Structure 1
Amino acid sequence: MPTFVFFNVSAHGHINPTLPIVAELSRRGHTVYYFVNESFTAAIEKAGGIAVVLPGTPGSQHIPPPGDKEIALLPFLMARESPRIVPAILERLKSIKADCVLFNTMLLAPRIVSRILGLPIIGFRPFHSSRQPKHSEISSDPDFKLSAYAAEQALAAVATSYQLPRLSLRELYAEVPGLTLVFLPKTFQVEAAQFDERFLFVGPSFVAPPLIPWPAATGSESKTTRVYISLGTLRNNEPGFYRMCYSAFPAPDWSVVMSVGDQIDLQALEPVPANFAVKRSVPQTALLPHVDVFVTHGGLNSTMESLFYGIPLVVLPTIKEQETTAARVRELQLGIVPDKSNLTSASLREAVNYVLQNEQIRQFLQHMKNDIRSAGGYLRATDAITAYYQQAIQTR
């Protein structure tokens, strides 16, 4: 049986969609290694994978979440680090006798090491796909020019060390693997016609867990609206927003669960109204079937999981990736995107009531729910991985 090796960004939104695939590959008898930082080793091992932690890889919980500029500069920073990181990865891949590389397409090193070793490579995207390079967005920034120069120098050193043709950052990222998994249905993809058969849109990748009881107090079951509020796992230290929600959704008409993350001081949210349950985290997919409306940051996984259950969305994005999701939710009439700059408890409540009562939104939600459930999820993704690998070794 082949040995598959995953490379990913160490963040919940990137790791989580791959865990059911790791589990399914392991269940089928494959060996799965997963390069990750220490924060996620337990999750990888629980799924049946073997976690590999490279020396000097920091734990993600102590790193401030990157903004749009930092995200745009990441390819250059990864290129600059490639003379250090590529040899370390190569050594580990040789020792574990890797047969196939699966990688988050944000990453650079897996593209290089697969060339050096001649391994089949499969991409995956737990974010919106794009067929256009985005360097132009920051090309006038002085940091861009300095980073671009350092990146090209570092890549030239790697190419010389391993006797490769000249490596260009733009060319490396423009290369599309023969298979790239995208964790959304094609109907949600922006400019979907640009994506050919190399891109497999499998929808959200998760295993629906058993339901949990609704943890917040409710009034009359026929009248109480259940709202779930989460700003994700990274940019969620927003005590003012959470207190605004208290006044937006009073008892007895509303019952609210808020997932507020690990950064916030919970005492800053006291006193908590009786109709609210404030949690550091909740098992989201086990809670969502209870939910009438989801107030979300617009993370792609959260959005897809909500749409899997046909739940209308109120989206409050903070970075460009989330703004792309929010725009798509608005365009496809799956929810609403309030103006965050003028958000009040009254306007937030109005937005939630709007998506609750809009029959057209309900109809479009049903269509998207059907598209998502027919996309195949982690099982289709796993089938595609094993089939692609078999085809790759037969055509060598």
Structure 2
Amino acid sequence: MARVLVVMMPAEGHINPTLGIIKELIENGDEVVYCCTEKYRTKIEALGAQFKAYSFNEATLLNNPDMKPFEIKHPYQFLYMVLKKIIQRFIPDVLNLIENETYDYLVFDSLIGWGGQILGEKLGIPAVCSTTTFVFVEPLGLGNQLKDDDEEVKELYNGIMEMSKQLASQFNVAVPSLAELSGHPGQLKIVYTSRYFQPMGDKLDDSFVFTGPSITPRKDAPSFANESLHAVYKQAVYISMGTILNKDLDFYKLCFTAFRDLPVQFILSSGKDTDLEPIADLIPDNFIIRPYLPQLEVLQGVDAFLTHAGMNSTSEALYYNVPLVLLPLTSDQPRVAGRVQELGAGVIVDKNNLTPDVLRNAVLEVLGNASYKEHAEVIGKTLRDAGGYKQAAMAIKNFMGKQSLSATPISSFE
């Protein structure tokens, strides 16, 4: 039996893909200690894992403007964000939580970046990276607006170099090179997509294991009768902007204007903390609105999905062969949306040119052209065939078996 430390970022899109793996590891006899914010304690402990909470609370994290998603215009912006806003804040907390404890291996969130390597080195254990978005074969932000000779970029570079030296000294580890900071930490990388869907997937070596989405039942999700989706109209469209970017009432009003006259059932997940009262009188008759929905179940009953192009939501839709209308807003979402459109499974609408006509035409295009559904089915098959959380757990088990063999003295085989 192995003792496993899991360190994850506090967001549904990072937590949910790990749940099936954690359950599988525990059922196989491993002891799992899971570090995250207090909000996720109940969900994690229900799996049988031990839970350790960061020292700061969830409200402090989510209300901090430094932690909000932003558009990355140069790779250095992403590296600086990881160093200053994640590693500098998270790693000391985690090390304090696990002081004087021992573990056999580590599973860490890819967003922690070099911080995962620090934890593995300090604990003296192998590290497995949980990658909830596409692998960045090319750095995030490459080719965007900022150039290397811009003053802002030079300042970022100097800040990265200085901060990495400070952190290396603080944690008593070697100063990383820029290549190490921008590379893919972890001896094994679990990636929750298929090699087919991953851009330039053929350029990645066997340390990247593509397992597809980690689809597991979500016990905290409310029930919903899918038959209501087709009670009045032949077609149904699901609308959700994720769990972080779902409070834009102007966007919801735009949807009401765009879709109120269409003979289509729309179902909108508005967010648990979103107050719709100011626009309640504008809700059309062809809309069903709930603060929170069982997304996996709903996706199995709709004909299209209007989404912010978050990796989890996009993958779950494609897993169930649902074509997409993609409204990427920030972070890696433009890249995810671009890949879907490139493979023919959806269309992108520009957040900077969003009108009722643009939105309505995009939805009608996806609903009316069977090729989007056909291409979604192609991607969906590769995601299902990848094996999911069971394959991920097996990959970790095989990896740890090889680690044990390589650490065994030759004399033990005599």
- TM-score > 0.5 by shorter chain: yes
Which stretch of the first structure deviates more once superposed, 263-272 or 10-19? Answer: 263-272
Alpha carbons 1:80, 1:151 under 8 Å: kept: no
Residue 297 in 1 paired to residue 308 in 2?
yes
Residue 372 in 1 paired to residue 383 in 2?
yes
Secondary structure at 2:239's aligned position in 1? strand
**Mapping 1:109-258, distance limit 5 Å:** 109-134=115-140, 140=150, 141=152, 144-145=156-157, 147-158=159-170, 162=172, 164-168=173-177, 170-174=179-183, 176-208=185-217, 212-214=224-226, 220=232, 223-250=233-260, 253-258=263-268
Letter in 2 for 1:184: T
1:75 to 55, 78, 82: 82
Alpha carbons 1:79, 1:151 under 8 Å: kept: no
Alpha carbons 2:140, 2:332 under 8 Å: kept: no
Alpha carbons 1:312, 1:361 under 8 Å: kept: yes
Q: CA deviation at 1:66?
A: 2.6
Q: Which residue of 1 aligns with 2:361?
A: 350
In 2, distance between residues paired with 1:194 and 1:296? 29
Q: Which runs of 5+ in 2 are unaligned?
A: 408-414
In 2, distance between residues paired with 1:379 and 1:387? 12
Q: CA 1:144/1:218 → structure 2, altered by over 3 Å: closer, same or farther?
A: same
1:278 to 276, 283, 289: 289
Structure 2-normalised TM-score?
A: 0.85
Q: CA deviation at 1:14?
A: 0.9
| % identical equivalent positions | 29
Q: Which residue of 2 aligns with 1:11?
A: 11
Alpha carbons 2:6, 2:32 under 8 Å: kept: yes
Q: CA deviation at 1:192?
A: 1.2
Letter in 2 for 1:81: Q
Q: CA 1:187/1:8 → structure 2, altered by over 3 Å: closer, same or farther?
A: same
Q: What value does the CA root-mean-square deviation take over the aligned residues?
A: 2.6
In 2, distance between residues paired with 1:178 and 1:101? 10
Q: CA 1:104/1:251 → structure 2, altered by over 3 Å: closer, same or farther?
A: same
Alignment size in residue pairs:
389
Structure 1-normalised TM-score?
A: 0.89
Q: CA deviation at 1:167?
A: 3.6
Q: CA deviation at 1:212?
A: 3.3
Q: Which runs of 5+ in 1 are unaligned?
A: none
Q: CA deviation at 1:253?
A: 1.3
Alpha carbons 2:329, 2:351 under 8 Å: kept: no
Q: CA 1:299/1:133 → structure 2, altered by over 3 Å: closer, same or farther?
A: closer
Q: CA deviation at 1:374?
A: 0.3
Letter in 2 for 1:323: P
